[in-house]
Structure 1
Amino acid sequence: MPPTSETLTAERILEATEEVLRRHGPAKATVVDVARALGVSHGSVYRHFRTKAALREAVTKRWLDRTSLRLAGIVDAEDRDPRQRLRDWLAALFAAKRHKAGDDPELFATYTVLTDELGGVVFEHIADLTGQLTRIITAGAGSGDFSVPDPAAAARAVFQATGRFHDPCYAREWTAPGIDEEFTAVVDLLVRGLSSPSR
């Protein structure tokens, strides 16, 4: 049974939009297609999202936020060793990106196009991720595990240094032989570089 204007929610629209994007790609997915998939008028969709760009921005943010939410639990585990939390966080980020690229390649390709179009959403996502890293590194500096004068600068450096394992432009390499060993080597180097000499 199609939703009515009273039962149609932004979340339901975003779910339908993701399915339309999966089927048609970003070039052919329109608000009319989303409305048709929901069995409502396109005006009903526009009541929640004023423009096609706003709808695309919201669905892209939702997709990126899934990764941030998955990683937040590691950041919040403040009773654990910061060095291990850093390792776990970087591994979870790599796993999340590989999962998206490998399990649903059509949708991953679609979102790669959308993120290129929607720089603001991507910058917010990167700021969120580097903010999470900053919290882990700050905790490590506070416990004496890490020796860094500026945790935020260190977090940005760690994020950039591991770009090969989370930036979508490297997605083709994520299944290459030896990639896991290369990831571990990079993370080991970064953790040693951050660690206090006494640790």
Structure 2
Amino acid sequence: MATETLTAERILAATEDVLRLYGPAKATVVDVARALGVSHGSVYRHFRTKAALREAVTKRWLDRTTAELSRIVADGSRSAEDRLALWNVALFTAKRKKAGADPQLFATYEVLLRENSGVVDEHITELVGQLVRIVQDGVDAGDFTPVEGDVEATARAVFDATIRFHDPVYAAEWSKPGIEAEMDALLALLVNGLKRRP
């Protein structure tokens, strides 16, 4: 049996390993418990259902990206224009890395994302919220003009315009030659559209 204290974080890490090994269709709570050397009842004390465990592991996976991006949003030493570009590049880089470095787990998460639309909706809300802060900072600095004066709608438009570079539906395109240049062109267009005109 396990000698380490059983924590939610240990369970989630083990769940990732089990999902990678068996995929979402075959992975069970018993498999997770076995990987940890505990009873499945011990896992259920932390996560009441298999669905709750899958939702938590999905949120953990998405939160890793959000945490990286929040550092860019908070970097007041950079202009809003720079942060907008860096944020989008970091999001694309993180998603592409997940897709390329561990394709089996990435495919598993695509299934889990479809199952956990509430978690995905929260994640998207958080990402758009980060963009709202960047756009608002640009407006406050006199660098950006929001679309029809609506910062939130502007941030959402930026998110939607860049969807090809962060939605897993487009993952097959992320390794094609020239994709970075295509993203740079789109970001230049977006920033140019946001710039305040004299």
Which of the five TM-score ranges fits, normalised by the shorter chain? over 0.9
Distance in structure 2 (CA, Å) of the matches to 1:3 and 1:58: 24
Deviations 1:165-184 (A, max 9, x none): 00000000001111111101
Alpha carbons of structure 1 residues 55 and 3: separation in structure 2 relative to 1, 3 Å: farther
1:39 maps to 37
Equivalent positions of 1:38-117 (< 5 A) are 38-117=36-115
1:13 maps to 11
Distance in structure 2 (CA, Å) of the matches to 1:10 and 1:180: 37
Please report the TM-score for the alignment, with normalisation by the length of structure 1.
Answer: 0.97
Stretches of 4+ aligned residues off by more than 4 angstroms: none
Report the alpha carbon displacement of residue 197 of structure 1 after superposing the two structures with TM.
1.1
Q: Which blocks of at least 5 consecutive residues in structure 1 are unaligned?
A: none
Deviations 1:49-77 (A, max 9, x none): 00000000000000000000000000001
Distance in structure 2 (CA, Å) of the matches to 1:197 and 1:93: 28
Counterpart residue type for residue 143 of structure 1: A
1:168 maps to 168
SS of residue paired to 2:93: helix
1:189 maps to 189
% identity of equivalent residues: 65
Counterpart residue type for residue 193 of structure 2: G
Question: Is the contact made by 1:3 and 1:40 (CA closer than 8 Å) also made in structure 2?
Answer: no
SS of residue paired to 1:145: coil
Question: Is the contact made by 1:3 and 1:38 (CA closer than 8 Å) also made in structure 2?
Answer: no
Report the alpha carbon displacement of residue 79 of structure 1 after superposing the two structures with TM.
2.6
Deviations 1:62-118 (A, max 9, x none): 000000000000000123111011000000000000010011101000000100111
Distance in structure 2 (CA, Å) of the matches to 1:188 and 1:87: 8
Counterpart residue type for residue 170 of structure 1: Y
1:130 maps to 128
